[in-house]
């Protein structure tokens, strides 16, 4: 049960949490006895943590844009942990995996394999600028750790500037640069030299420039770079997956500030690389090239954990006396086959353009809803990385936290799954293979759910 003295709202930054009263109420109403038994087994064997166990429900199947629970309820998945750019179980990805498993299913260290080389070369050919060097890892957090080590090795400095509210993974090094209390608080001393600055979120920005953002937040990054004088890198998500969409000039300014102060720029595009925003890499929208780009999630075709660090040629200097990654699955041929197949599908099926078209269509529908429901404070997005912010008061920016959670459960009841970030932002990240009919169905569900919650207010 929820401890009533616990302030749970500040824990809602990364996603909706599993200890809220509404969650308990929903479970009692919608989870049958058989499913409760499986949830209980999960509860008894897994370590409990916010955002997972105790879990919400039990899945039986996933296919295309849908997850399907053990009672056969189909939910359009606008969450998918952002691995599902191609939806689930894309036949071309599955075929590539099966084919690869039949020959080389693993690659022992000290050896390489053609499919890993092919994926690395493909990524280099797609990446902007001279991001010519690749190192794979079995997950985004690990790849972020490699980026931090390379920044230290290359600059001889250790300080990092990163953003409040950001997420770069849950390990100790990643939470040191991350900016969310749910991961950081009570975890003891974190990495030294990690400083945080406000993210480019004009609605809740401490500089209070509001709608007419004057980029004070980017000036402040330069201010800290100058005061410290020896910062190794600025690390940030190109677009926070909440999402906050930085203004057009934001990254150009940060890029220049990094160059002026000898700091590297490391961009984390783990959740939206390879097409979610309508470009293979999100930094392409901003016309800049970072010194390192970290990708993951969809890179494994929605099946395998696979992430990658792309670095500029001149950063290829950790050899021969330093190891950056050394992960067991560094060149896993099956994961790489899945990644190569996923990229091929994105290219041959024109999914980048489709992501832009579907994103525009969905945002139009949501903007239309915003004219009818005062609860909707803001709609934003880039391609199919979309957010709807629910506010109690547009002028003060007061977050509609209970209402956002209620909308999420109302959507689940109607067959749409997504997560809520920062307590009040409906974060909508469908597969980029989504059809127009599926998108319209999702928007109908969203609209009906917002109407239901608005009426009850
Ligand atoms: C922006 C960002 N960085 C890093 C990570 C960590 O990736 P992984 O869970 O693969 O370790 C995530 C995962 O959600 C993420 O969203």
Calculate mean pLDDT across residues 398-414: 96
If one residue of 146, 167, 173, 266 were mutated to test the ligand 1 pocket, choosing by the most ligand atoms within 8 A of its CB, it would be 167
Cα separation, 443 vs 263, in Å, equals 43
Q: Is 250 in the pocket of ligand 1 (CB under 6 A)?
A: no
Q: What is the pLDDT of residue 1?
A: 42
Question: In this model, does residue 157 exceed pLDDT 60?
Answer: yes
Alpha carbon separation from 377 to 226, 291, 331, 356, 369 (Å, rounded): 36, 36, 45, 23, 11
CA of 88 from ligand 1 middle (Å) equals 19
Q: What is the mean pLDDT of the chain?
A: 94
Q: What is the pLDDT of residue 6?
A: 58
Q: Is 237 in the pocket of ligand 1 (CB under 6 A)?
A: yes
DSSP per-residue string spanning 77-100: ES-GGG--TT-BS-HHHHHHHHHH
Cα separation, 151 vs 155, in Å, equals 6
DSSP per-residue string spanning 388-453: EEEEEETTTTEE-HHHHHHHHHHHHHHTEE-EEETTTEEEE---TT--HHHHHHHHHHHHHHHHHH
Write the pLDDT tens digit of every residue in 161-190. 999 999 999 999 999 999 999 899 999 999
Calculate mean pLDDT across residues 292-299: 98
Strand partners, 425: 389, 421
Strands 264-268 and 194-197: unpaired
Write the pLDDT tens digit of every residue in 232-291. 999 999 999 877 889 999 999 999 999 999 999 999 999 999 999 999 999 999 999 999
Calculate mean pLDDT across residues 105-126: 98
Q: Is 270 in the pocket of ligand 1 (CB under 6 A)?
A: yes
Q: Is 159 in the pocket of ligand 1 (CB under 6 A)?
A: no
If one residue of 168, 242, 292 were mutated to test the ligand 1 pocket, choosing by the most ligand atoms within 8 A of its CB, it would be 168
Residues 271, 230, 246: CA angle, nearest 5 degrees: 35
Model confidence at 214, in pLDDT bands (50, 70, 90)? confident
Question: In this model, does residue 225 exceed pLDDT 90?
Answer: yes
Select the more confidently predicted residue: 205 or 429.
429
Q: What is the pLDDT of residue 257?
A: 98
Q: What is the pLDDT of residue 244?
A: 83
Cα separation, 106 vs 38, in Å, equals 33
Calculate mean pLDDT across residues 304-316: 96
What's the token pair of residue 65? Answer: 């844009």
Select the more confidently predicted residue: 86 or 211.
86
Write the pLDDT tens digit of every residue in 3-41. 545 566 666 666 777 778 888 899 999 999 999 999 999
Q: What is the pLDDT of residue 13?
A: 67
If one residue of 270, 292, 385 were mutated to test the ligand 1 pocket, choosing by the most ligand atoms within 8 A of its CB, it would be 270
Cα separation, 392 vs 406, in Å, equals 14
Q: What is the pLDDT of residue 430?
A: 98
Cα separation, 248 vs 265, in Å, equals 17
**Helix, strand, coil % over all residues of the chain, rounded to 5:** 40, 15, 40
Write the pLDDT tens digit of every residue in 45-69. 999 988 889 999 999 999 999 999 9
Q: Is 304 in the pocket of ligand 1 (CB under 6 A)?
A: no
Q: What is the pLDDT of residue 11?
A: 67
CA of 84 from ligand 1 middle (Å) equals 14
Q: Is 443 in the pocket of ligand 1 (CB under 6 A)?
A: no
Q: What is the pLDDT of residue 213?
A: 81
What's the token pair of residue 120? Answer: 């690395």
Question: In this model, does residue 356 exceed pLDDT 50?
Answer: yes
Q: Is 27 in the pocket of ligand 1 (CB under 6 A)?
A: no
Q: Is 273 in the pocket of ligand 1 (CB under 6 A)?
A: no
Question: In this model, does residue 196 exceed pLDDT 70?
Answer: yes
């Amino acid at each position: 049960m929820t401890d009533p003295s616990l302030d749970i709202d500040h824990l809602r930054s990364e996603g909706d949490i599993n200890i809220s009263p509404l969650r308990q109420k929903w479970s009692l109403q919608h989870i049958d006895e058989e499913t409760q038994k499986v949830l209980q087994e999960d509860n008894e064997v897994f370590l409990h943590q916010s955002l997972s166990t105790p879990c919400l429900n039990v899945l039986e199947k996933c296919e295309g844009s849908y997850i399907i629970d053990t009672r056969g309820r189909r939910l359009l998945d606008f969450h998918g942990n952002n691995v599902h750019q191609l939806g689930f179980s894309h036949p071309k990805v599955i075929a590539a995996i099966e084919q690869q498993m039949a020959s080389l299913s693993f690659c022992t260290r000290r050896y390489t394999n053609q499919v890993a080389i092919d994926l690395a070369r493909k990524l280099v050919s797609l990446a902007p600028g001279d991001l010519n060097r690749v190192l794979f890892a079995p997950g985004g957090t690990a790849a972020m750790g490699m980026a931090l080590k390379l920044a230290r090795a290359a600059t001889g400095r250790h300080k990092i500037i990163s953003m409040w509210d950001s997420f770069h993974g849950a390990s100790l090094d990643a939470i040191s640069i991350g900016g969310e209390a749910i991961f950081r608080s009570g975890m003891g001393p974190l990495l030294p030299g990690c400083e945080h600055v406000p993210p480019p979120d004009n609605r809740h920005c401490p500089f209070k420039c509001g709608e007419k953002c004057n980029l004070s937040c980017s000036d402040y990054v330069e201010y800290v770079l100058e005061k410290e004088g020896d910062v190794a890198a600025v690390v940030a998500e190109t677009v926070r997956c909440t999402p906050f969409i930085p203004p057009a000039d934001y990254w150009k300014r940060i890029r220049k500030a990094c160059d002026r102060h000898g700091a590297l720029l490391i961009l984390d595009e783990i959740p939206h690389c390879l097409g979610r925003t309508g470009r293979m890499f999100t930094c392409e929208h901003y016309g800049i090239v970072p010194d390192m780009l970290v990708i993951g999630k969809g890179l494994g075709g929605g099946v395998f954990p696979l992430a990658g660090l792309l670095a500029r040629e001149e950063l290829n200097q950790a050899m021969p006396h330093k190891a950056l990654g050394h992960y067991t699955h560094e060149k896993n041929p099956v994961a790489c086959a899945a990644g190569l197949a996923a990229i091929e599908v994105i290219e041959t099926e024109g999914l980048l353009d489709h992501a832009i078209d579907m994103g525009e269509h969905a945002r139009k529908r949501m903007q239309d809803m915003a004219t009818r429901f005062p609860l909707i404070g803001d709609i934003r997005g880039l391609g199919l990385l979309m957010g709807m912010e629910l506010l109690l008061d547009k002028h003060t920016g007061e977050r509609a936290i209970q209402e956002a959670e209620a909308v999420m459960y109302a959507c689940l009841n109607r067959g749409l799954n997504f997560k809520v970030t920062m307590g009040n932002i409906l974060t909508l990240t469908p597969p980029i293979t989504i059809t127009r009919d599926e998108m319209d169905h999702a928007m109908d569900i969203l609209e009906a759910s917002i109407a239901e919650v608005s009426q009850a207010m």
